[in-house]
Structure 1
Amino acid sequence: MKKLLFHILIILWISFFASCSVDSGDTQITKPVSIAPDSMPIPESNNLGTLLNDPKAYDGYTLYTIYKATYLIDNCGRVINQWLSTYDRGGAFCLLEDGSLLRAGKIINPGLPYGGIGGVIEKFNWQGDLIWSYVYSSPSYSQHHGLVPLPNGNILFLSAHKKTRDEAILAGRNPEHLPEDGLYDERIIEIEPSGSNGGNIVWEWSTWDHLVQDYDNTKFNYGVVSENPQLLDINYQGSPNKDTDWLHFNSIQYHVDLDQIIISSQKLSEIYIIDHSTTTEEAKFDNGGNSGMGGAIMYRWGNPEAYHHGTPADRKLFGQHNAHWIPNDHPDGGKIMLFNNGLGRKTDYSSVDIIDTPKEGTFNYRNNPGEPYGPEAPDWSYSHPDDPVMFYSKILSSAQRLPNGNTLICEGTKGTFFEINEDQEIVWKYVNPITNQGEPLSQGDTAASNVFQAIKYSQDYEGFTGKDLIPGNPLELNFDIGNCK
């Protein structure tokens, strides 16, 4: 029996080599075993486009903008759709429920130098045609950063407005810490679009209506800063420089159920929640911060020193971006997620944080008198598991909780998007292959661009209904995505 098995093995062994070789005279040449295309992975030598697409990644479409173009790509980096503007990017963009693109464009504004400036809001249909635009730009004001489409068709956006040196002193600013150009007043504007290039302002909120200071007791807003956390201290400086742009709001989002707005101040390293269920006149008044009609701050978090409730050691945020509520039907729904850049930490590293705001009832936030707003620490946080400094983007950037519990992260200064699962394992990675001048790079070229934000949409998103979603080629030249599909 053993001899029979031995002979069978010999025959099988010979048959195997016979099937993988050809006879060429006295030399036997072994043929390479062919690999089916479906089993060819993404080449490890790739350094642009999709570098990893694990089955655990959320299968959706990612939207981002670079230079004058906005791209929608699948998980393999193949282009699903693209839009082209005559304006460089203004930082804000999103897909609407009809499949159109809402995008901010940059208008050069020498009179108002502001990082992340926009100035024009455009709407393109799925086919790429410009169907509406609205300019909000002058030497004294400009739209910048965030855009939020509202359920009624209106649009919320951020704007910066110049206040003169005299106006800032009248509001109680210490002249020793005041630049010659004065200060910027940050505002939230709501417009109702009209026609093909117009809009009507229907609501407005201004930081200038919600200031406090303890420097000059002759001014109207003099008070005890620590007793007024619902107001902004006009003399608190988030940096040692005399910054005209002393607040630098860099994101805005809206909560439909609460009718509230969350904004992020990069310079003060704080986030704020305000009420939207007011008239413009009501939004000018201080409501005590947590009940009734008014535009005062309902909740703030990140840097209690800014309202005299802590020291630098109590600071939690460091130049953060992209503060937003996680959708209610997602894991951790209703909590606030943000990209905590780490600008100003003792060690340069970034993290993605989720906080659970202490609530009183449905609409109000709990804050014990004399204490900083909670929580004391994030509910959830991600930083590089091996060495925190390996994950760092001092500006730009975003994070998004996905329906399956994964988290999409845009490491803005590196132009890199990656997705982590619930175990914080990287399951998808993409490196933007388009330069800041809009030129495509080839595999092997060094990536040299930055990205403000990336947004991933479900394949069943309402805006994709009836649309052509057949993927085209990847954006990088000389692409090779193996069997990615």
Structure 2
Amino acid sequence: MRKLTSLATALLSLFLLSAPANAYEAINGPLGLLSYDKAKAYDGYTLFTPHTKVSSWIVDTARNPGSKTTYLIDMEGNVVHTWKHDNAAFYAELLPNGNLLRAEKIAGSPVNFGGWYGLLREYTWDGKVVWEYKVSNPRQIAHHGFDRLPNGNTAILIWENKTYDEALAKGRDPKDPALSRNGMVAPGQGPDGQPLQGIWPDALIEVTPKGEIAWEWHVWDHIGTGPDQIDINWHLPLSMGYFARADWTHWNSVRYNPKTDQYAVNSRDFGEIYIIDRKTKKIVWRFGNPATHGMGKAPSGYHDDGDQILFGSHDVEWLPNGNLSIFNNGTHRPSANRSTVMEINPATNQVVWQYQTKDHNSFYSDFQSSAQKLPNGNWLVTSTNNGHLFEVTPGKQIVWEYVNPISVDDKPYCVKRDDAPENQVHRAYRYGKDFPAFAGKDLKPQGKLAAGCPDWYKLMEYKPAPGYDPVKK
């Protein structure tokens, strides 16, 4: 190992207190590539977009500009392509044709709930806008997930406003303090911190390339207490604070399955995944919190999770075998705040694989985050809190690890310090080198994102002791 500067030595000592094989997670520490096992990692390119500061959802380009660049990096952390944009990002995905589909935060949102964006744009490889769809008006806002379908349509999640009187007409209990006339326990969820009127349930729209709505599904059309309905009077307990508010169902991801003609969507606040049949528009399966529809025990007091499995979860994904994956944040879980990556078999309602560590705070993220199962069976995990990306094998060994060095001020940093800006990443995606988007493209390494910083990966040269198991340590 080469000689280090005193600063690098100190930082390295702090880092080594948390073994890379256990999914490094720290408030302070090195940024960039931290570990890479070439023999076991899935070779390809990783796409990610730093996004605006999560604790401030108001678009303020002077105080909170957010990153306006999307990055594609190779396995050693070198940039191979970038897309420059006019607006700050939420996240982006790469399409097989080489275009980029990107959620962008625009001014004028009627709400301040975490996850809104308003504008979805498609860019060519060279950065030209070839398609866009905007949902941002006083009673609607696009938020969180989207999905490009095989037929060229695009599925988009939106929040839509319903007045207090409309909610009463649907059976909302006017005596419930969590469902007040303003739709929240405390004011401040509207634009510029103003009180917000009514409630904002979710809807799913399917938009054609011409911008026409080809299909839609609204929570509001499925209100009830049955197993295929959404209970208008169910919400997270008041002890969970701001979650019991006008942002009531809070869906955060959507994926279409062309084999079954079904959508999978995820609700953070209900702690559930739903499968919706596109033809019948029925909820044909739900998982994660049976108490929402009277089929199980709700959490109670300290350490009692009840029958609830998902707590604050994000990013539902269909897998090739028909199973579903989810990043279970574990937020406000009575037994402990602990994040877990799960693969679920909807035919049996069983969790068939999961990744978590003995240390409850290793890769814990109380908001956002994602998990992508790779073709070789590994998983690429995004822990949003600290912009932490890592790849873990089915045997639960970390084989690649990267922490985003680009902060909310759109500048690169070598290390994360107490006084450094936030560096969150909502979701990252790994694409194999044979992904069709890369055909004929120039993917030569262009250097690190944080040029001039120590090459932490080469300096550390960490190797776990023979027989070391981070899960059973």
Which amino acid in structure 1 is aligned with residue 330 of structure 2? Answer: G
Query: What is the DSSP-based 3-state SS (H/G/I as helix, E as strand, rest coil) of the residue aligned with 2:125?
Result: coil
Supply the distance in 2 between the matched residues of 1:341 and 1:33 (Cα, whole angstroms).
39
Deviation at 1:339, TM superposition (A): 0.3
Supply the distance in 1 between the matched residues of 2:201 and 2:270 (Cα, whole angstroms).
14
Deviation at 1:479, TM superposition (A): 3.2
Contact 2:109–2:136 (CA under 8 A) maintained in structure 1: no
Query: What is the DSSP-based 3-state SS (H/G/I as helix, E as strand, rest coil) of the residue aligned with 2:175?
Result: helix
**Please, what is the CA RMSD of the aligned residues?**
2.1
Cα separation, partners in 2 of 1:349 and 1:59, compared to 1, 3 Å? same
Deviation at 1:90, TM superposition (A): 2.9
Give the TM-score of the pair, scaled to structure 2: 0.78
Supply the distance in 1 between the matched residues of 2:105 and 2:401 (Cα, whole angstroms).
29
Q: Which moved more, 1:297-306 or 1:419-428?
A: 419-428
Q: Does 1:303 align with 2:303?
A: no
Cα separation, partners in 2 of 1:90 and 1:33, compared to 1, 3 Å? closer
Supply the distance in 2 between the matched residues of 1:126 and 1:254 (Cα, whole angstroms).
24
Which one of the candidate residues 195, 198, 216 is aligned to 1:204? Answer: 216
Contact 1:192–1:200 (CA under 8 A) maintained in structure 2: yes
Structure 1: where are the runs of 5+ without partners?
1-31, 35-42, 213-224, 279-293, 359-373
Corresponding residue number in structure 2 for 1:341:
329
Deviation at 1:325, TM superposition (A): 1.0
Deviation at 1:388, TM superposition (A): 2.5
User: What do the CA deviations read for 1:33-75 (whole angstroms, capped 9, x no partner)?
Assistant: 99xxxxxxxx888811111111211111111111221111111
Contact 1:443–1:478 (CA under 8 A) maintained in structure 2: no
| 1:456-475 alignment runs, 5 A limit | 456-475=430-449
Which one of the candidate residues 315, 320, 325 is aligned to 2:313? Answer: 320
Supply the distance in 1 between the matched residues of 2:416 and 2:385 (Cα, whole angstroms).
19
Which one of the candidate residues 206, 213, 228 is aligned to 1:190? Answer: 206
Which one of the candidate residues 332, 339, 344 is aligned to 1:350? Answer: 339
Which one of the candidate residues 223, 230, 233 is aligned to 1:232? Answer: 230
Which one of the candidate residues 23, 37, 46 is aligned to 1:62? Answer: 46
Query: What is the DSSP-based 3-state SS (H/G/I as helix, E as strand, rest coil) of the residue aligned with 2:114?
Result: coil
Which one of the candidate residues 266, 269, 284 is aligned to 1:267? Answer: 269
Deviation at 1:483, TM superposition (A): 6.3
Query: What is the DSSP-based 3-state SS (H/G/I as helix, E as strand, rest coil) of the residue aligned with 1:454?
Result: strand
Deviation at 1:131, TM superposition (A): 2.3
Which one of the candidate residues 52, 57, 61 is aligned to 2:35? Answer: 52
Contact 1:112–1:140 (CA under 8 A) maintained in structure 2: no
Deviation at 1:477, TM superposition (A): 3.1
Query: What is the DSSP-based 3-state SS (H/G/I as helix, E as strand, rest coil) of the residue aligned with 2:425?
Result: coil
Cα separation, partners in 2 of 1:311 and 1:33, compared to 1, 3 Å? closer
Cα separation, partners in 2 of 1:33 and 1:151, compared to 1, 3 Å? closer
Corresponding residue number in structure 2 for 1:367:
none
Q: Which moved more, 1:236-245 or 1:459-468?
A: 236-245
Which amino acid in structure 2 is aligned with residue 190 of structure 1? Answer: E
Larger Rg: 1
Supply the distance in 1 between the matched residues of 2:404 and 2:413 (Cα, whole angstroms).
9
Contact 1:90–1:144 (CA under 8 A) maintained in structure 2: no
Corresponding residue number in structure 2 for 1:255:
257
Deviation at 1:414, TM superposition (A): 1.2
Query: What is the DSSP-based 3-state SS (H/G/I as helix, E as strand, rest coil) of the residue aligned with 1:108?
Result: coil
Query: What is the DSSP-based 3-state SS (H/G/I as helix, E as strand, rest coil) of the residue aligned with 1:388?
Result: coil
Deviation at 1:185, TM superposition (A): 2.4
Contact 1:239–1:267 (CA under 8 A) maintained in structure 2: no
Query: What is the DSSP-based 3-state SS (H/G/I as helix, E as strand, rest coil) of the residue aligned with 1:176?
Result: coil
| 1:30-429 alignment runs, 5 A limit | 47-55=30-38, 56-66=40-50, 67-91=67-91, 93-177=92-176, 178-179=179-180, 180=182, 181-194=197-210, 199-212=211-224, 225=225, 228-240=226-238, 242-276=244-278, 278=279, 294-312=280-298, 313-326=306-319, 328=320, 333-346=321-334, 347-358=336-347, 375=349, 377-384=350-357, 386-429=358-401
Supply the distance in 1 between the matched residues of 2:96 and 2:201 (Cα, whole angstroms).
32
Contact 1:186–1:207 (CA under 8 A) maintained in structure 2: yes
Cα separation, partners in 2 of 1:395 and 1:78, compared to 1, 3 Å? same
Contact 1:48–1:431 (CA under 8 A) maintained in structure 2: yes
Supply the distance in 2 between the matched residues of 1:33 and 1:357 (Cα, whole angstroms).
51
Corresponding residue number in structure 2 for 1:29:
none
Deviant stretches of 4+, over 6 Å? 43-46
Deviation at 1:258, TM superposition (A): 0.8
Give the TM-score of the pair, scaled to structure 1: 0.76
Deviation at 1:110, TM superposition (A): 4.9
User: What do the CA deviations read for 1:237-281 (whole angstroms, capped 9, x no partner)?
Assistant: 1242541111001011111111110001001110101012x3xxx
Supply the distance in 2 between the matched residues of 1:438 and 1:171 (Cα, whole angstroms).
45
Structure 2: where are the runs of 5+ without partners?
4-11, 16-28, 51-66, 183-196, 299-305, 460-473
Supply the distance in 2 between the matched residues of 1:480 and 1:389 (Cα, whole angstroms).
26
Deviation at 1:440, TM superposition (A): 1.1
Supply the distance in 2 between the matched residues of 1:443 and 1:334 (Cα, whole angstroms).
41
Which amino acid in structure 2 is aligned with residue 232 of structure 1? Answer: I
Which of 1 and 2 has higher RCO (CA within 8 Å, sep 6+)? 2
Corresponding residue number in structure 1 for 2:21:
none
Which amino acid in structure 1 is aligned with residue 310 of structure 2? Answer: L
Supply the distance in 1 between the matched residues of 2:267 and 2:402 (Cα, whole angstroms).
28
Cα separation, partners in 2 of 1:59 and 1:480, compared to 1, 3 Å? farther
Count of residues in correspondence between the two structures = 388
Query: What is the DSSP-based 3-state SS (H/G/I as helix, E as strand, rest coil) of the residue aligned with 1:463?
Result: helix
Q: Which moved more, 1:468-477 or 1:299-308?
A: 468-477
User: What do the CA deviations read for 1:433-455 (whole angstroms, capped 9, x no partner)?
Assistant: 00012111135766632111111
Contact 1:88–1:106 (CA under 8 A) maintained in structure 2: yes
Deviation at 1:97, TM superposition (A): 1.1
